[in-house]
Amino acid sequence: MEIKGNGSAAPPDRSERSSSKGGASSATSAGKSGTTRQLSDEFKMSPSSVDLASKEAPLDASKVSSISQAIRDGRFQVNAEQVAQKLIDGVREMVGQKTS
């Protein structure tokens, strides 16, 4: 639906029709060749993504507390090289490579 400058709404383009399908919206669009294609905003997660999303990261409450206190006190310093290396190691682990 298009909103005109005066605040009135123009009717939707006849080539697009919105409907609800399984909780996700979808639209039908007519292409240049006159064929109709189905557009959807649905997605599916791979089994490995579902497995990864269901796992909780371990949490060391005392470490979190000490870091929080260091931040409040202005003593916390970030080691950019260490952070970068941990990110690289994490990616390597995800893709199955041995870390150094």
- Per-residue pLDDT tens for 51-77? 877 787 788 999 999 999 999 999 999
Residue 32, pLDDT > 70, answer no
Label residue 20 by pLDDT band (50, 70, 90).
Answer: very low
Output b/e per residue, 73-88; b: 16+ Cβ within 10 A: eeeeeeeeeeeeeeee
**Separation of alpha carbons 44 and 48, rounded Å:** 12
Look at the pTM and tell me if it is higher than 0.85: no
- What does the pLDDT average to over 30-49? 73
Label residue 42 by pLDDT band (50, 70, 90).
Answer: confident
Residue 13, pLDDT > 60, answer no
Residue 83's H or E segment, with its range, is helix 80-94
Q: Is the dihedral of CA 80, 83, 86, 91 positive or negative?
A: negative
Q: In the prediction, which pLDDT does 28 show?
A: 55
Q: Is 30 helix (H, G, I), strand (E, B) or coil?
A: strand
Q: In the prediction, which pLDDT does 67 show?
A: 93
Output b/e per residue, 25-59; b: 16+ Cβ within 10 A: eeeeeeeeeeeeeeeeeeeeeeeeeeeeeeeeeee
